[in-house]
Amino acid sequence: MARKFLTSIDLNLSELQNAVIQNLASDPATGNADGRIYYNTTSDSLKVYANSEWIDLGIGSITDIQGTTNEVSVSLVDGIATISLPSTINADTSGNAATATKWANSRTVSFAGGDVTGSFSIDGSADVSNVDLTIAANSVALGTDTTGDYVATIGGTDGVSVTGSGTEGRAATIANTDKGSSQNIFKTVTDGVSNIEADNNNDTLTVSAGTGITVSANGITDTLTIGNSGVTTVSGTVNQIAASGSTGSVTLSLPSAVTFPGSVTLNADPTQALHAATKQYVDSAVSGLDWHPAVNLLSATNVSLSGTSGTLVIDGHAALDSTDSGYRILLTGQSTDSENGIYTYTDNAATYTLTRSEDADVYTELIASSVFVMEGTGYGTTSWVQSNHYITDFSGQSWTQFSGQGTYTAGNGLSLTGTAFSINTAITADLSTAQILTNKTLVSPSISGLYLSDNEIVIEGDPDTNETRLVFTNPTADRTITFKDGTGTVAFTADITAAIDLLSTSDIEEGTRLYFTDERAQDAVGLNLAGSNSLSAVYNDIAGTFAFDTTLAATSYMSKTSGLAIDVSSLENKLKTDGFTKKVSASVGNASATSFAVTHSLGTSDVVVNVYDNASLDTVECDVVRTNTNTVTVSFASAPATNAYRVVVVG
């Protein structure tokens, strides 16, 4: 890695021997200053930077400049080459003049000696147009390359003959040689949509048979016969279809009494007095509900009314796509309340849209409306009613489920028989689930565990206002209360604390279980408390306190002013006195100054100073002066950026 010098290098007129300047393949774009020099390995030339550009000094490339007689002259004065044109110039003037605008002399172009005569003048300054030329009379023969109202030859085709063509001035005769073309025949046959046209005299019109139609032709009698090979007889069935025939037509109708051999499906509810009624219409009329055609799915959560095909999933149904176009969907849980209602799903294989169905695109059509849901894992085979009779727009819809096969199941503690729920008397309450029992009597209960919510056990007295409470106040560890046997009696006075305070040491026999007061405990500890060489211990019996302190040697580099610590200042002075090597470092640079004083306080000029780049950690060179025994001064050719360099002083 190249060493950076941050100040000028003065060789003091000494030789710079065996030096090679920087080799680069192209001009440096950054870090340039006037006088910078390098060797270009691409052009084999020496270059110097001056006036914001790189100048080729010509060393290693051009070695000589020479002129040519009567073409280019070259003169050299003080290293400057001057190239100029001599007074007499030999130049090749062949070819086109690049700047000429016209000929020196104009010229005349003439047409003479032939059937076309005329002339025009040209000087090269502009194009020539509108030239007047004369063509001699009868000089152009038919059949040659001419234009205008001349016909060289007239020829005939099938059914047309031409005579007298090809001779100038002779009349041409055109005759019809196809006798059939003079008859009244059709050129075009049409069925009202498509046309058949006779493209030439050899075209033949063919009549083909179709379903139930036969075609036969007789070349002798020139006849074409079209016959019926399909339906020949139409008859009705009793009480189902009546058929009557007349010339060219057959009438099918229903008799006054109609019998249907199977079920009949109607496509809509009746809208007029004499319309047939569907079952759902009759059911809704009986129940007071306005039944709409069934929907395929119901969504009780918000869905987008438009989106990408194959992304809409409702109630466990596979993602809807173009095969589901036409699905009817009931929305009851839209985030925007007014978007609820009955919709039709439309999918073009790329995107889908949900639009209100025709039977529910007006809000009044949803009052007391009922609908059956056919599909879905959660809402399939259920029926729903819009129960808000007071809506004034699509907002405020209230869809409620009122029936559905398999909708209801018995939960914990319940049984279901048909549509009737009842309490399961065989249920057993478990202890892992929170339950509330009110006005219940537990007979000989067996409880394997006890869980307290309020940290207390309450035993009612007689009367109930008398209670005994065992209270546990925020235990911080496991505790055990032990009653030795069933014969003992535990008695509590009104104030157990006051009773204990009245006891003396003679009231309780110590035996092997010693009874300690605060004073006894303090004295016992104080008598067994002892210090060491570096630690002292003092017991104050009056205050009931213990004091500990460290003991420092007569000559020590420790301090206990604010906690036991090393006295850095005393230790450094000792190390300095004993001649130990020490290090002091500081960052310099403020983007304005070029010289910085670094105080090391080592008390000597016998120091080593090193400077490195804080960013790259590379060692750099600069001027270093040992100002005095406690300070060094570092200087740079240009002001370094803030804290750009680190100065390390070792001494």
SS3 306: strand
Tokens 């300690």 locate to: 516
The DSSP secondary-structure symbol of 368 reads T
- Per-residue pLDDT tens over the stretch 404-432: 755 566 676 777 665 567 776 656 556 56
* Distance of alpha carbon 584 from alpha carbon 597, whole angstroms: 13
Tokens of 305: 């009314």
What was the pLDDT predicted at 450?
44
Residue numbers in the chain where pLDDT is lower than 70: 1-2, 59-63, 77-79, 91-99, 140-152, 158-159, 164-171, 176-187, 201-202, 246-248, 273, 280-288, 405-410, 412, 416-420, 424-454, 464, 475, 481-517, 574-580
E strand or H helix at 523: helix 518-527
What was the pLDDT predicted at 182?
46
Torsion of Cα atoms, 637 then 641 then 642 then 648, to 10°: -50
For the four alpha carbons of 360, 365, 366 and 370, in that order, the dihedral sign comes to negative
Q: Residue 89 to residues 65, 92, 93, 99: CA-CA distances in angstroms? A: 19, 10, 11, 19
With a CB cutoff of 8 Å and minimum separation 6, the contacts of 381 are 373, 374, 404, 405, 406, 407
Tokens of 235: 């008859």
- Per-residue pLDDT tens over the stretch 359-380: 999 999 999 899 999 999 989 9
What was the pLDDT predicted at 24?
93
* Distance of alpha carbon 120 from alpha carbon 107, whole angstroms: 9
* Distance of alpha carbon 185 from alpha carbon 506, whole angstroms: 153
What was the pLDDT predicted at 425?
63
What was the pLDDT predicted at 14?
79
Q: Residue 269: phi, psi to the nearest 5?
A: -70, 155
**What are the start-end ranges of the E strands in 451-520?**
456-460, 467-471
Write down the pTM of the prediction. Answer: 0.29
List, in sequence order, the alpha helices (H) in 288-398: none
* Distance of alpha carbon 604 from alpha carbon 629, whole angstroms: 4
* Distance of alpha carbon 370 from alpha carbon 397, whole angstroms: 12
What was the pLDDT predicted at 636?
92
* Distance of alpha carbon 413 from alpha carbon 392, whole angstroms: 43
**What are the start-end ranges of the E strands in 140-212?**
160-163, 173-176, 188-190, 195-197
Label residue 341 exposed, middle or buried (CB < 10 Å: 0-12, 13-18, 19+): buried
What was the pLDDT predicted at 230?
72
The number of angstroms, rounded, from the C-alpha of 428 to the middle of its chain's C-alpha atoms is 55
* Distance of alpha carbon 9 from alpha carbon 441, whole angstroms: 107
* Distance of alpha carbon 392 from alpha carbon 338, whole angstroms: 11
Tokens of 193: 């949509």
Tokens of 66: 């020479």
What was the pLDDT predicted at 448?
46
* Distance of alpha carbon 456 from alpha carbon 468, whole angstroms: 10
Tokens of 166: 């090809």
With a CB cutoff of 8 Å and minimum separation 6, the contacts of 397 are 332, 337, 340, 341, 366, 386, 388, 391
Among 427, 423, 446, which residue's Cα sits nearest to residue 435? 427
Tokens 């080459």 locate to: 81
